[in-house]
Chains A and B, each alone.
Chain A
């Protein structure tokens, strides 16, 4: 009884809001609230619409590349930061700066740089690399959105991975280096497997955030395809088709859930692969200490 009272304010508020939103989505996606009554037409209509699949493809593409890009960039920086470097605090501060720049400002900064007569095109023209400015804003593939996701999320990935890498005892790394492991082997056999939990957390959080992205896609995204969130927003507020918007919402949620599971399953095997460079028993012993 007392436990309930303790859990109610925090857990209760979450369950209440998430639950009521979920309830509304479910009800609306089958049209239960309309006078016509329940029907699966909204599902079949929406799921047979090729636009939805283009949006799914686009959203998946940008979020896979965005989240992978962020962690791939974060690993070497995190390794580099292990070393003593003059002015480390300032460097860390600079690296974290993008986290405090609102995403929309980031989108604006990027568009400004890559616009038709923006500084990028002007510099390339001046250098003679191109003879006509490139039209790269709102590109069809979504590279701008990928860039923005990487820019904005690298600090987040860096913080998660750094704290995980820093918690690896340096004698483990020194020992493996003494045993003659190359820097790459050291990373792939020792560091990488030990940071899998942090990697999973970073990938899942960044990926799901990117999959539901509205702001980047609507400002810097392709003009030939909407991201899932943009599509859902227009479907609800411009076409007034709340039922179909609910279906799209559920599709996003299912995709998020599936990708979280997939990321976990795909990265798990790496966590146990420690054999070749230094013996597994050595690592286990040092890990237990």
Chain B
């Protein structure tokens, strides 16, 4: 234990030397113009977003030239970024500025201690602080609409034949073995969202019913998967599923609307692939963006966030990535899904289910 203590002090002093000086200013007490001037002085900002980073790097170029602030988009997974945010929250100054998170993740954060309140933003009143039923209490705003659904290759299945209920899907899987794929929920969220849809269909009896970890109702869902397991292709990640449709191996697979559109816009896969939300319903919502309380470049982070959530930028996000805009004044004509189909979008279950789905699916289906 003594060794540990000595180590700790020596490492901490080392860290203190490495870290730059502590805050000289407090953005929460500055006016917006002061923040803008301060942002120019900081000159750079980090934006940790866990998907489509190459596309983001292109997208933020406009901000960089307009404001003269460099934006760095680091690599990193959602879990990795969130864990780092939590781990760094104990320090006086961290290395993260803006962090994008899935809506349910606000439950895992100690909001007051980790995040900066965002009410300084000029457009704050028009932005959404609640997503998928999770209230960020003003510490996060939505910036990216997402929708899970099923991607398909229209050259290999007629639109009229797309499975809309679980009976139809079972039938499809039986008659087209291995052509429906689901990704391992540990490798990407769309697989988890499909499992969640199955859970809604087979296990949860009424809207709002909550299952605990050991509830026997889980079994109904796992039974369905086990019945068809040999005829379903399990893929590694969201991207793996889409790639396999592109390769002609799969015809249908759960995917994210924004991810599919993003890959298509990048020329990674063919434009032919389409996306639908089945009538049995799959969940959608919006991702949050937050600023770390101990951000290194707090003013630049606020200015970037204001730009990111503005009506103008949201319209461009829709055009570039095909996502649903989050600012009420933005234009959303470039999405993959019609407004009519959006009615089948459901609210996702909470983060408890997310973890439990991952664990139980592995235990009761994948490796059963």
Contacts and interface: CB of A to CB of B under 8 A. Distances in A.
A116 B366 contact: no
Interface stretch (B34-42, B305-313, B355-363): B355-363
A238 B234 CA distance: 19
A116 B367 contact: no
A85 B316 CA distance: 64
Most buried by B among A49, A50, A54, A116: A116
Given A115-B247, A224-B367, A225-B367, A51 B236 contact: no
B213 interface: no
Interface string A56-72: 00000000000000000
Given A116-B248, A223-B366, A238 B236 contact: no
A282 interface: no
Given A223-B234, A239-B358, A116 B247 contact: yes
Classify the secondary structure of A's interface with B: loop
Interface in A97-143: 115-117, 133, 135, 138
Contacts of B184: 223
A139 B106 CA distance: 38
B64 interface: no
A238 B249 contact: no
Chain B interface size, as a band, is 20 to 34
Contacts of A223: 184, 234-236, 366
Contact of A219 (B79, B236, B355, B363): B236
Given A117-B247, A223-B366, A238-B358, 14 more contacts: A51-B362, A54-B367, A115-B249, A116-B244, A116-B248, A218-B236, A223-B184, A223-B234, A224-B366, A226-B362, A226-B367, A237-B79, A237-B83, A238-B79
B233 interface: yes
Interface residues of A, number: 20
A80 interface: no
Interface in B202-244: 233-236, 244
A8 B83 CA distance: 35
Interface of B: 79-80, 83, 178, 184, 186, 233-236, 244, 247-249, 355, 358-359, 362-363, 366-367
Given A237-B83, A238-B79, A239-B359, A135 B235 contact: no
29 contacts: A49-B363, A54-B367, A115-B249, A116-B244, A116-B247, A116-B249, A117-B247, A117-B248, A117-B249, A135-B249, A138-B234, A138-B235, A138-B236, A218-B236, A223-B184, A223-B234, A223-B236, A223-B366, A224-B366, A225-B366, A226-B367, A234-B186, A237-B80, A237-B83, A238-B186, A238-B355, A238-B358, A239-B355, A239-B359
A135 B178 CA distance: 9
A148 to B, nearest CB: 15
Contacts of A224: 234, 366-367
B42 to A, nearest CB: 32
A241 B358 CA distance: 13
Contacts of A116: 244, 247-249
A49 B367 CA distance: 11
